Chain A
Amino acid sequence: MIAELGHFALVLAFVMALAQSTIPFWGALRGDRQMAAVATPAALTQFLLVGIAFAALVHAYMVSDFSLLNVVENSHSQKPLLFKITGTWGNHEGSMLLWVLILALFGALVAAFGRNLPDKLKALVLSVQAWIASAFLLFILLTSNPFLRVNPPPIEGQDLNPVLQDIGLAIHPPLLYLGYVGCSISFAFAIAALIDGRIDAAWARWVRPWTLAAWMFLTLGIAMGSYWAYYELGWGGFWFWDPVENASLMPWLATTALLHSAIVMEKRDALKIWTVLLAILAFSLSLLGTFLVRSGVLTSVHAFASDPTRGVFILAILCLFIGGGLTMFAFRAGKLAPGGMFAPISREGALILNNLFLTVLAAVVLTGTLYPLVLEALTGTRISVGAPFFNLIFVPLAVPLLILVPFGPMLAWKRGDLRAASERLFFAFGAAILAGIVAAAIAGTANVLALFGVGLAFWLIVGALSELAFRAKIGGVRFGDSLRRLAGMPRSAIGTTLAHAGLGISVLGLVAATAWSSEDILTMKAGDSITVASRTVTLQGFLPREGPNYSETVVRFLVGEGGRTVVAMDPSKRFFPARQTQTTEAAIKTFWPSQLYISLGDITPDNSVTVRIYWKPLVTLIWLGAVVMAIGGLLSLSDRRLRVGAPRPARRAVTAPAE
């Protein structure tokens, strides 16, 4: 009964989305305020209805309702409650429902918090948002209905893929979807602006917080996915250039670019047309990501089941929105007035370079991701484009961008002084050189590129901090005054510093963990030991253990430092009887900020085991840097001047006619 309610709510949500797509749109075009005003309650109701459907599905998973096909295929009564709940989106149907739920959530947020948006813009944005919702709700109802029943219901379910039975599933997909779907808001704003034919700095002021939020969630979602793959897959790798990872990296690159170009537009009223195009592209790349992951054209852990009709349906949605968006851009962009002037060496110029590099990087990733698909479709030749390809291209293009990052905030708007900026960065340059020398002293000069990478990371971190230091005049005035200046600084300035420094922290982790990690593969018996990074790792013994829905053999290792045992590490081999599947749980111990990582191969009958032991120097910094970036985003978001309800300037801009 509850499942039927959920199904019914989903159908109603589709109808509501259709109403929201048409009535406010028509009202906005005809200037009918009453019709335009339908948008707000419709968006809220649509969210409520999708919420009911989602809650019904979660309920079915929690009580293990095996009369639902979806629950039978992806759950098991013995599974811990947390994994029953997260299993709701650990499959194709449920994850699409989560996608639509988040879409509806964003629509509802615009409806609820967009009180000071002009009525017409708000109605247009919400109806564009509802077009997307209608398409995806129809997709779910026609091809991926999670509420299908089975008759007779089986007694037990087939369990969730053991790889997915992890806390990561509770965090990674919702975060990533918040990021993907968050891009739909800036897309909706862009389309609304094109329909309306007017766009101004106030528009950027509304778009930027949404983009910032989407970017924050994307950053965290990607970092979380990377950490999950790192500890779950047992290869000790954190980025595989897998097409599915690329699918999340492309929107991240595009939203990062959009974030920066929206600043130019908001502050200087320039780059308008480009910003609109970027908003369309960012969401197109998100949709492409959804298509690549959900259609089964790629082989990966994310491809739950391939069904050609779904692929074709998502492809159709993809063509509709990307094609439609770009067509509208082609026809209407000319109506948007170009913006202000600036010299090439200026904050604007730096931000344009940032956009140039980021979009080129996104294009390169797109090429590498789609090329194998296109080649196979055209010639039938199957190739794999992996890490060697991307590393060769990505690194040389990313390095100039990273070198330029600290200059941006140092340059003034309109006309900047490169020499003054360089002088201010002198300290950062010194720190970078020093860091390179220190790294050479510790790790040797065998890997010159890695030393350069360490220098680059410190250039970014110290460069970002020097911007704050100069604004606070640290060393120039009394220390107390500097602190007061720092406290009085807009939060968005501190946010920028944190985001740029976070990038540097991630770069440092990436460089060190790539260049100086060690790997040992050996067969060990109880009592054997090996020395890794000046620590002794001793295999103590094998312990069988029973979990809720699996049985496992734990292999206990003792890690000693200077003859003293400091910690025990317990990697294990798990066997899940429901799926007759074995998984390996790696053991990871953080010696801040580095990690010792132990993974297992097969345990032989004579009680020896193949062991893979990694030492990953500074590896935690990769994810820590992403968290720092996201905190920077959050600080920016909380800046009063940026808040959606930012009082006067926004309202004045609304009433002013478009240029």
Chain B
Amino acid sequence: MTRKQRRLSLIGIAGVVLACAAGLVLYAMSDRIVFFNSPSDLATKPEPPGTRIRLGGLVAVGSVHKGPDGSVTFEVTDGSASVPVSYHGILPDLFSEGQGVVTEGVVASNGVFTADTVLAKHDERYMPREVVEALKAQGVWEETSSPATASR
């Protein structure tokens, strides 16, 4: 086999592998990515039931109800709209009323958001970026609660 043939066969194999990878990426991008919505987004443009999304905002004060067997309901709000969320499981340590939260799950037909993942911030100084931006968009973001503490 000459150097040229060898190179061609190599390029051929590389092309096949790359094409497979690209195909998988494109398929996954149409199917396996999750969009982030704020409660206002859902209010103005409701997603069809069964759609998997991320929902972020603040946990509405007074909305958290814990049932037996680890089931929890609460509302996620961004100041102008709020969405009821139901969740079964253990909430993160930093989950509390009035604090930022990101939940991932499925929109149910009765308008309740069924979450299977609840992410709270990792640190009390820090708020999930998506939530900050959703809140800024609704004009309820206060700069005093800015997570940037390093510039004093």
Contacts and interface: CB of A to CB of B under 8 A. Distances in A.
Interface of A: 69, 73, 92, 150, 161, 163, 234, 299-301, 303-307, 341-344, 352-353, 356-357, 360, 363-364, 367-368, 371-372, 381-386, 388-389, 392-393, 396-397, 521-523, 579-584, 599-602, 604, 610, 612
Interface of B: 1, 3, 6, 9-10, 13-14, 17-18, 20-21, 24-25, 27-29, 31-36, 54, 66, 68-70, 88-91, 93-94, 104, 122-126, 128-130, 133, 147-152
A456 B9 CA distance: 28
Contacts of B122: 161, 163, 300-301
A382 B149 contact: no
19 contacts: A69-B152, A92-B150, A163-B123, A299-B128, A352-B10, A363-B21, A364-B25, A371-B29, A381-B35, A382-B35, A383-B35, A384-B36, A384-B54, A521-B70, A522-B69, A523-B69, A601-B70, A602-B66, A604-B66
B90 A234 contact: yes
A341 B25 contact: no
B69 A386 contact: no
Nearest to B7: A338
Contacts of A583: 93
Contacts of A353: 13
Nearest to A91: B150
8 pairs of A and B residues whose beta carbons are closest in the complex: A382-B36, A601-B90, A389-B32, A388-B32, A301-B122, A305-B150, A393-B24, A610-B70
Contacts, number: 131
B93 A392 contact: no
A397 B69 contact: no
Nearest to B122: A301
A368 B26 CA distance: 11
A383 B128 CA distance: 14
Contact of A396 (B24, B68, B151): B24
Main secondary structure of the interface of B (DSSP, over half): mixed
B68 A521 contact: no
B10 A307 contact: no
B93 to A, nearest CB: 5
Given A301-B122, A393-B21, A383 B34 contact: yes
B151 to A, nearest CB: 6
A288 B12 CA distance: 30
B33 A383 contact: yes
> Which of A344, A363, A367, A610 has the largest count of B CB atoms less than 10 A from its CB?
A610
B32 A392 contact: yes
B90 A600 contact: yes
Nearest to B91: A601
Nearest to A297: B129
B21 A580 contact: no
Contacts of B3: 341
Given A343-B1, A392-B24, A522-B70, A581 B94 contact: yes
Nearest to A392: B28
Contacts of B104: 384
Contacts of B29: 371, 389
A580 B124 contact: yes
A389 B1 contact: no
A344 B54 contact: no
B44 to A, nearest CB: 15
A416 to B, nearest CB: 14
A610 B29 CA distance: 36
A397 B70 contact: no
A73 B149 contact: yes
A580 B96 CA distance: 13
Contacts of B28: 368, 388-389, 392-393
B88 to A, nearest CB: 7
A615 to B, nearest CB: 17
B70 A523 contact: yes
